[in-house]
Amino acid sequence: MYGLLCESLHDFIKESYGDDVWKLVRERADVRLHSFVTHEVYSESVIPRIAMAASGITGTPYSDLMNSWGVYFLGFVGKYGYDRILKVGE
C-alpha cells in the first residue's frame, strides 16, 4: 500500500476526529508510526487495521468512514498534484 493512501487516511482521521482519537487509533491498530512517507510502500493490512480501529473508537460505521475518507482523498491528492490525473472528460 502506497504511503500516499496511508498518509491521507492519517490526515483524514486527525482532521475529522482530532489528535487524541488518532493516538487511540494507532494504539488499537498496532501502528507505531506517527505519520507515513508518501512514496514508501507499507503492508496491505495497514489501512484496514486503521479504518477498523477508527470505526470502533468513533462509532462511525466502517463503510461510512471509508466513503468519507474517499471524498477526503480527492482533495488530499491535490496537494501533491495528482488531482490532474483524476480529472476525466474535461
For position 38, what pLDDT does the model report? 86
pLDDT at 6: 96
List, for residues 62-89, the tens digit of each pLDDT value. 999 999 999 999 888 887 766 665 565 4
pTM of the model: 0.86
Count of domains forming the chain: 1
Grid look-up 486527525 returns 14
pLDDT of residue 75: 86
Residues 6+ apart with CB under 8 A from 36: 3, 6, 7, 10, 42
Domain that holds residue 25: 3-86
pLDDT tens-place string over residues 24-51: 999 999 999 888 998 899 999 999 999 9
CATH number reported for the structural domain that contains residue 71 in this entry: 3.90.1520.10
